[in-house]
Amino acid sequence: MTLPLAITMGDAAGIGPEIIAKAFRDAPEALRGCFVAGDVATLRRAAAIVQGAGVPLPVALIERPADALAVPPRCVPVLQVVEPPAVPVPLGRISAVAGRMAGDAVDWAARAALRGDIAGLVTAPLHKEALSAAGAPYARYPGHTELLQAVAAEHLGKPVAELPVRMMLANGELRTVLVSIHLSLRDAIEKVTVGNILQTLRIAHTSVGAALQRQPRIAVAGLNPHAGEGGLFGREEIEAIAPAIAQARAEGIDAQGPFAPDTVFMRARGFAEFDVVVAMYHDQGLIPVKYLGVEQGVNVTLGLPLVRTSPDHGTAFDLAGSGRADAASLLAAVRMARRMAQTKTPVAQGERAS
């Protein structure tokens, strides 16, 4: 790549800084040309936690993203893009200061990617309560996806509603794309409409198809047990899901279903029958992928005019400071973002971390 890749540091109270430092320590070639958008002191604390006896892990302050391309292996380049905290953020605790730092890092990296200063961004985990505690403007965003959507829409000069995005979680065995993301289950059910499902199918068709270089086979999960059993257990399949599939197929999209949600993921595992499953709500789609191993999964935001990936786990406050957090999912996210940036495709296939 001719442009560097930014890794936002995530919540300073969680494992984000530690897994970043560990990735630079253990996989220097995979991290070549990457830098951390965040706080130098926070990364130096993380490096001290994970470096181990006799394994130096220096943290270098860089002045601009391009400087990352000249940093030697096993050195963590950090661009100070957030206000340094007056005192170190306590590990393992929700903090408004940490929430604001995490939000500011993502905001900076998104704008840098939209300007073309960096190839894309990999976001380390942030904590949604901490982000909310940070206040305006971050309190209005349930997570990374919504924040990135808002920044990108502002850059493009259009309303957020005119920039639809979707979350995809992918690994070497399964891909799922969600109709709705961070909503209560009650509110998520209200989003099961013909328009939302059709929009999701179009985004999945375009994005996954670009990565595969062929038309993707899309399975659509039902909302209710047994996909409604002909209306016995709910009518969403009849009134919303099936009509959306029919319209998508009329547009040339290879979408099939609705299938019973308790079996469709098994049929898609290993990409045997389907390349991607469209799920109706957050947990329906993410539990199957995470069950296969959070160390393999990568979160990708579809529909953005920039490259963004993320590990598929959270801040793990209970592990913060222990040095035991696994960096495999972060490394998989970096590799996927790099491939997406190199191929100029909006999404890439899942892969096993190595």
Assess whether 141 and 181 both reside in one domain. Answer: no
Assess whether 159 and 178 both reside in one domain. Answer: no
The pLDDT tens digits for 324-338 are 999 999 999 999 999
User: What are the residues whose beta carbons fall under 8 Å from the beta carbon of 264, sequence distance 6 or more?
Assistant: 219, 221, 257, 274, 277
In this structure, is residue 338 part of a structural domain? Answer: yes
Assess whether 341 and 209 both reside in one domain. Answer: no
Indicate the pairing of strand 175-178 with strand 120-123: unpaired
Q: Which has more pLDDT, 157 or 182?
A: 157
Residue finishing a domain among 291, 321, 342: 291
In this structure, is residue 169 part of a structural domain? Answer: no
C-beta separation of 25 from 51 below 8 A = yes
pLDDT at residue 63 above 80? yes
In this structure, is residue 98 part of a structural domain? Answer: yes
pLDDT at residue 343 above 80? no
Kindly report the CATH number assigned to the domain that includes residue 153.
Answer: 3.40.718.10
pLDDT at residue 353 above 90? no
Residue 31 three-state SS: coil
Mean pLDDT over 146-151 rounds to 95
In this structure, is residue 296 part of a structural domain? Answer: no
CB atoms within 10 A of CB 298: 30
pLDDT at residue 7 above 90? yes
Assess whether 55 and 134 both reside in one domain. Answer: yes
Mean pLDDT over 46-54 rounds to 84
pLDDT at residue 12 above 90? yes
Q: Across the chain, how many H-helices and E-strands are there? A: 12, 12
pLDDT of residue 345: 55
Residue 21 three-state SS: helix
CB atoms within 10 A of CB 279: 29
Mean pLDDT estimate for the chain: 92
Using CA atoms, how far apart are residues 234 and 340, in angstroms rounded to an integer? 40
Indicate the pairing of strand 276-279 with strand 120-123: unpaired
Mean pLDDT over 340-351 rounds to 56
pLDDT at residue 169 above 90? yes
Mean pLDDT is lowest, of 197-211, 221-235, 254-268, 284-298, for 284-298
CB atoms within 10 A of CB 269: 16
Using CA atoms, how far apart are residues 19 and 324, in angstroms rounded to an integer? 9
End-to-end CA distance of the chain: 21
Q: Which has more pLDDT, 292 or 93?
A: 93
Domain membership of residue 260 as a residue range = 174-291
Assess whether 97 and 191 both reside in one domain. Answer: no
Instruction: Give the strand order in the sheet containing 175-178.
Output: 59-62, 76-80, 34-38, 5-8, 120-123, 308-311, 298-302, 166-170, 175-178, 276-279, 218-221, 255-259
pLDDT of residue 294: 65
**What share of the chain has pLDDT > 90, as a percent?**
86
The pLDDT tens digits for 80-103 are 999 999 999 999 999 999 999 999
pLDDT range class, residue 342, cuts 50, 70, 90? confident
Assess whether 23 and 135 both reside in one domain. Answer: yes
In this structure, is residue 270 part of a structural domain? Answer: yes
Assess whether 259 and 308 both reside in one domain. Answer: no
pLDDT at residue 351 above 60? no
Q: Quote the Cα angle for 335-255-207, to 5°.
A: 30
pLDDT at residue 107 above 70? yes
**What share of the chain has pLDDT > 70, as a percent?**
95
Assess whether 275 and 310 both reside in one domain. Answer: no
User: What are the residues whose beta carbons fall under 8 Å from the beta carbon of 185, sequence distance 6 or more?
Assistant: 281, 283
Torsion of CA 168, 171, 172, 175, to 10 degrees: -30
pLDDT at residue 348 above 90? no
Write out 284-317 in H/E/C secondary structure: HHHHHHHHCCCCCCEEEEECCCCCEEEECCCCCC
pLDDT at residue 221 above 80? yes
Using CA atoms, how far apart are residues 315 and 99, in angstroms rounded to an integer? 12
pLDDT range class, residue 210, cuts 50, 70, 90? confident
Assess whether 159 and 179 both reside in one domain. Answer: no
Residue finishing a domain among 291, 319, 338: 291
Assess whether 202 and 265 both reside in one domain. Answer: yes
Token code pair at residue 287: 């539990």
pLDDT of residue 352: 33
Assess whether 247 and 346 both reside in one domain. Answer: no
Mean pLDDT over 245-260 rounds to 98
Assess whether 151 and 231 both reside in one domain. Answer: no
Q: How many CA atoms lie within 13 A of 310 on its CB side?
A: 25
**Cα–Cα distances in angstroms (integers) from residue 243 to residues 87, 166, 201, 281, in the given order:** 56, 20, 12, 18
User: What are the residues whose beta carbons fall under 8 Å from the beta carbon of 281, sequence distance 6 or more?
Assistant: 178, 179, 180, 183, 185, 188, 189, 191, 192, 223
C-beta separation of 85 from 12 below 8 A = yes
In this structure, is residue 299 part of a structural domain? Answer: no
pLDDT of residue 54: 66
User: What are the residues whose beta carbons fall under 8 Å from the beta carbon of 144, sequence distance 6 or more?
Assistant: 106, 123, 126, 301, 308, 310
The residues pairing with 79 across neighbouring beta strands, listed in sequence order, are 37, 62
Domains of the chain: total: 2
pLDDT at residue 56 above 90? no
pLDDT of residue 297: 84
pLDDT of residue 53: 59
Using CA atoms, how far apart are residues 300 and 329, in angstroms rounded to an integer? 12
For the chain, the 3-state helix, strand and coil shares in percent, each to the nearest 5, are: 45, 15, 40
C-beta separation of 208 from 175 below 8 A = yes
pLDDT of residue 347: 44
User: φ, ψ for residue 246 (rounded to 5)?
Assistant: -60, -40
pLDDT of residue 1: 59
